[in-house]
Amino acid sequence: MLKHVVIWKIRDPARKALHAAQVKAELESLAGRILGLLRVEVGIDIGYDGDAHDVVLYSEFTDRAALDAYQTHPLHVAVKQVIGPLLAARHVVDWEA
């Protein structure tokens, strides 16, 4: 199994809540729709730490090949086109479990 975490900062602080909710909905729409994507969990920061980022994606894949396929899958590409303009900083960690 491969685990994939992505953390983002929302670009427009004035619209953070709206855009974070949109990012969450878009990413969660991928659940059960892409072969090899086993789990999708999206969290929105609660505002406890002022230095925190705003949205986190935790996902699990059957293997590296499934993650590779996900990156270019048309559904994922479509989601990236919607959420990309809403996001600023991005950090990623992938690991095998």
Distance CA 62, CA 79 (A): 21
- Say which CATH number the domain at 15 has: 3.30.70.100
CB-CB contact of 20 with 7 (8 Å): no
What is the number of alpha carbons within 13 Å of residue 24 lying toward its C-beta? 14
Instruction: Please provide the average confidence, as pLDDT, over all residues in the chain.
Output: 98
pLDDT score for 18: 98
Q: Tens of pLDDT along 42-88?
A: 999 999 999 999 999 999 999 999 999 999 999 999 999 999 999 99
Domains in the chain, number: 1
